[in-house]
Amino acid sequence: MTTSSNSQKRQLGVLNSDVITLSHGSGGKAMRDLIEDVFVRAFDNEKLSHMEDQARIELSELQAKGDRLAFTTDSYVIFPTFFPGGDIGKLAVSGTVNDLAVSGAKPLYMTCSMILEEGFPVADLRKIVQSMKQTADRAGVAIVTGDTKVVEKGSADKVFINTAGIGVIDSRFNVSSSNAQPGDLVIVNGTLGDHGAAVIAARQDLAFETNVLSDCAPLNLLIADMFEACQDIHCLRDATRGGVATILNEFVRDSKVGIKLAEKAISIRPEVRGICEILGLDPLYLANEGKIVSIVPPAYAGKIIDVMRRHEEGASCSIIGEVVESASHMVTMETSFGGERVVDMLVGDQLPRIC
């Protein structure tokens, strides 16, 4: 890794501890050693290396990329911290990047604030931070500032992460949950429910044996190519908590339309379907961390699908439904048996602490 000139001049501290202690949140040398050795050394970039209380970004740099600022924040409390296909660090970066990208923004910068439980293994913290760095590099974003707090053992569950992200929206794009129009087509970029199923399988009280991996991934490069193929994408959202069904219900409510899905067009892995059948869950409501739902004009659907299939994250994309006129603003689905059922908004949580 290439270090910045400021980091080369500054001698970074070294953390000499196997676990997090309360002293690592005290504001003294132990805390500085933690920040410098674990975070600054991993996330090193020109803006972070100044070690100020804030990152300073030139307005001209942002204005050169678009005419609107996109700003988001999120918190991550997933259990378990490490799961098949990812960890809380990869999840935090991917989720923040995707929340920006679905607005049409180019994600640029992120913050990283961590709440650490006393006794948390430093080796695990380093793994999480390296995962964040790798995911941020893949997405082309920089983690430029942050914060660390330590709480007494039992006051938190290992590690919680809060992030904020900023990006810039190209003046050509105007995507909104209220833009869906009758005749538009509904596209998803792959199989549904993978993240939720992977987390269920990883929980100690559920002895599932499955090879399903979380779909956790930053999707900004895929989304950028979609916008190049069609600058008039009407609606776009990442289907996290509440799954695809919840996102679609938000679209019909905000756009005052209906959506009709085709069950046979929706792709769900057999392992995910099996877990859902055992636990009485509906995969349409399971969380995803690498899936987006897009509403696009029918004339551009083929072009968008061609572009999506060039990406690993969009290789199995498909059209799963159509926007229709509806006075009741409902999502319905034609089942594989030829019937029709209502796909309503999720009430409560199918699975807590999923992200």
Q: Are residues 243 and 323 in the same domain?
A: yes
Which residues have a Cβ under 8 Å from the Cβ of 173 and sit 6 or more positions away?
A: 104, 227, 231, 233
> What letter would DSSP give residue 19?
B
Is 278 in contact with 171 (CB distance < 8 Å)? no
Alpha-carbon distance 80 to 88, whole Å?
8
Instruction: Show the low-confidence residues of the chain (pLDDT under 70).
Output: 1-10, 204-207, 349
CA 119 from chain center: how many Å? 28
Alpha-carbon distance 36 to 159, whole Å?
18
Quote the domain boundaries for residue 217.
Answer: 185-342
CATH of the domain at 205: 3.90.650.10
Residue 166: what pLDDT? 98
Q: Are residues 26 and 165 in the same domain?
A: yes
Residue 349: what pLDDT? 66
Query: 331: part of which helix (H) or strand (E)?
Result: strand 331-334
Alpha-carbon distance 171 to 242, whole Å?
31
Is 170 in contact with 70 (CB distance < 8 Å)? no
Residue 235: what pLDDT? 98
Residue 9: what pLDDT? 56
Q: Are residues 305 and 226 in the same domain?
A: yes
Measured CA distances, 240 to 7, 185, 214, 293 (Å): 37, 20, 12, 10
Residue 347: what pLDDT? 79
Is 345 in contact with 194 (CB distance < 8 Å)? no
Q: Are residues 260 and 155 in the same domain?
A: no
Residue 204: what pLDDT? 67
Domain count, the chain: 2
